[in-house]
Amino acid sequence: MAHPMENNQLVEKKIYRVEGFSCANCAGKFEQNVKRLPGVYDAKVNFGASKITVYGEATIAELEEAGAFENLKIYPEEVVNATAENPEKRFKQWLNSNWSLIISLFFSLIGFVSLYVLGENSWLTISVFLGAIAVGGYPLFKTGLKHLFEWHFDMKVLMTIAIIGATIIGEWAEAAVVVILFAISEALETYSMERARESIRSLMKLAPKEASIVRDGIERKLPVEDIEVGDVMLVKPGEKIAMDGIVIKGNSTVNEAAITGESIPKDKRVDDEVFAGTINQEGYLEVKVTKLAEDTTLAKIIHLVEEAQAERAPHQQFVDQFAKYYTPIIMIVAFLTAIIPPLFLQADWGKWIYLGLAVLVVGCPCALVISTPISIVSAIGNAAKKGVLIKGGVHLEKLGQLKAIAFDKTGTLTKGEPVVTDVILLDDSMEEKELLAIAGAIESRSEHPVAQAIVDKVKKENVSYQTLDVTNVSAVIGKGIKGTIASTTYWIGKVNLFEPLRSVEKDVIEKLGALEREGKTAMLVGTENRLLGIIAVRDEIRSSSKAAITKLNELGIEKTVMLTGDNETTAEAIGADIGVADVRSELMPEDKMECIKRLQEQHGEVAMVGDGINDAPALAAATVGIAVSDTGTDTAMETADIVLMSGDLEKLPFAVRLSRKTLNVIKANITFSLAIKLFALLLVLPGWLTLWIAILADVGATIIVALNGLRLLRVKE
């Protein structure tokens, strides 16, 4: 991949995983530092996925130096961090990251014992508390002072000034407690975001790292990176499938929950497609590999989910802009709090400087900054594990604001696979199997979906048709097909195919009309002299369609509409069966787009649900484009804002509920974060605000906001 730059140059891009992000502000600072590296033209941090994309040349050592203020560790994207897989290494990493906190906590405990026994003016009490402040605050001061001199005002600058100020005015104990609680708050933020990111890491663990491959007649275990397209992969019962491919031998059932979110296994036979990360349950399979490891459906799902986390939701954009001005304002308010009462009201300098420092602490925007990203990451991760790909926070938010949803019919509300529903004999001398044999023999020469439905029916009924010698087969465009068997020409098609040959009786016309009113496509089978029978087919309605529409209505969606190119009679019948509020029939693709625009004029936020292959204009015009994909096709994943991987429309009401819950959680988090700070700031007026109250309010808000965001991981279907 390359990135276009000035002077018509193309610059290579590289993606790295980042370990150690504690907050979104730190991620933004790291991004700015990397952009300033020589040889780097641009950089983009994905805080949710904990990754950075670098356009240009930079070594890992240079990147880690740019992230030294946060002790960040950098890995190439393809390298899996072994620390995340090993509990012992995770514990050692935690100790390495929090050693200053542990020592500071130990010093503070000694300090409080000394305070109780020897008093606050004892040299031991003062020394121990100063030691706690120096050791525990060192990582904070190192970054905070650097940012202060760079005029980059963030939460660490606020805390640095507050702690140093409290130390100068002799509030040793409170300064030490502020250091400890702030460190705990940052550790909780890091832990919360890691919990949210774990939902994505769990997807990465689904695919095996190696597979059994047959090359030159020899079976061998190979890393997935070394497996090539065309290799034959052996999959035993109970094994995970390592690569996407086509079954060339054997049959089995495969659990595709990793891809579709559906736990019910699917039967797999020769020529069926299988996906990396799914589980072969019963039989032995030989699979011809069709995609490289980095191109598998699972790999694309992971990539899309990670990229989704980089796209800022409207609420995230609001918080980012708000925080940009909020921190300087807090510093001004704190400064004015410290000097105005002493200067103009002859108040005590010591008391109001202390209150000014408390304002800095209570103004720390930890909870506010983490409120949106932790909610978005949790929701997108939860949806992905249930087979719903949401390509960004913006689409997640819009989904919860929908007022109307339009559905394509074929391949969306229906399976897109016509099946024979009725075989009606019109000639007493003809048996059903004989009629099916004639129809199957002729239709087997056609690629039309209706023809395929008839052939499938013939095969299902074990009717022998291959022995019939068919000649002179030709399609009559828009009407049907004809062919000759044993010197007799047979015609299969609509009424208008037969009308030039002979009149069609009134009772036959009535039977055809009754079938069409049931949403079926009815075809006559006959010769020039007699009508032999009627074969009716219908596109099967998805089992989940009716339930999905019912649930969407219960959720308060104002209007559900079915858009189709079918004739009005068929469309109305299927629409009535499914339960949509409105049916628009005989539409071309551009007509569907116009329907979406009219719905937007009437209802505002409108979604279009299609199969991801057709309906591109309508999907693009809608507020949210939603693709239904039984197999996770590349087209579906690329064309829509949201993809329902299993083709199960009942996942759409789940996605709407999840979106609404996410919006509620984000709004609650932002409101609570600001309200708790406003309440604490009001305590300044009577002089009741203390550093203890300030830091407890900040830490408490961070904990509550983080836990509230993590609840989205547990939202069920």
Q: Catalytic residue numbers?
A: 408
**Residues with Cβ within 8 Å of residue 578, at least 6 apart in sequence:** 413, 541, 545, 546, 549, 562
34-35-38 Cα angle (round to 5): 85
- C-alpha 273/C-alpha 290 separation (Å) is 9
Residue 644, CA distances (Å) to 200, 289, 632, 651 in order: 17, 25, 8, 7
Neighbours of 667 (CB within 10 A): 14
Buried b (16+ CB within 10 A) or exposed e, 362-389: bbbbbbbbbbbbbbbbbbbbbbbbbbbb
Sort 554 into a burial class: Cβ within 10 Å, 0-12 / 13-18 / 19+: exposed
Confirm if 381 and 679 have CB atoms less than 8 A apart: no
The Cα-based distances of 303 to 410, 464, 675 in angstroms read 29, 49, 37
Per-residue exposure over 335-357, b if at least 16 CB sit within 10 Å of its own CB, e if not: eebbeebeeeeeeeeeebbbbbb
Q: Identify the CA nearest to 372 among candidates 655, 693, 25.
A: 25
DSSP 409-459: IIIIIEEEEEEEEEEEE--TT--HHHHHHHHHHHHTT---HHHHHHHHHHH
* DSSP code, position 226: G
Q: Lay out the sheet containing 218-223: strands in order across.
A: 218-223, 210-215, 232-235, 285-289, 245-249, 273-274
Q: Are 629 and 636 in contact (CB under 8 A)?
A: yes
Q: Using the structure block, give the residue that is written with the tokens 């979106």.
A: 659
In the sheet that holds 252-255, the strands lie side by side as: 266-268, 252-255, 279-280
Best CA proximity match to 647, nearest among 261, 298, 246? 261
Q: Which residue has the tokens 């759409």?
A: 652
Quickly list DSSP for 466-525: TTS-EEEEEEETTTEEEEEETTEEEEEE-HHHHTTTS---HHHHHHHHHHHHTT-EEEEE
Q: Which of 590, 596, 594, 591 is nearest to 609 (CA)?
A: 596
Phi, psi at residue 116, to the nearest 5°? -70, -35
Are 186 and 358 within 8 A, CB to CB?
no
| Residue 407, CA distances (Å) to 380, 520, 590 in order | 23, 19, 15
DSSP letters for 553-611: HHTT-SEEEEE-SS-HHHHHHHHHHHT-SEEE-S--HHHHHHHHHHHHHHHSSEEEEE-
Three-class DSSP category at 212: strand
Closest CA to 380 of 203, 583, 582, 554: 203
Cα–Cα distances in angstroms (integers) from residue 271 to residues 240, 246, 248, 415, 693, in the given order: 19, 6, 6, 20, 67
Cβ-based neighbours of 122, under 8 Å, separated by 6 or more: 114, 115
Query: Two tokens at 324?
Result: 């940009």
The one-letter code for the residue type at 598 is R
| CA–CA distances in Å: residue 599 to residues 582, 584, 588 | 11, 12, 17
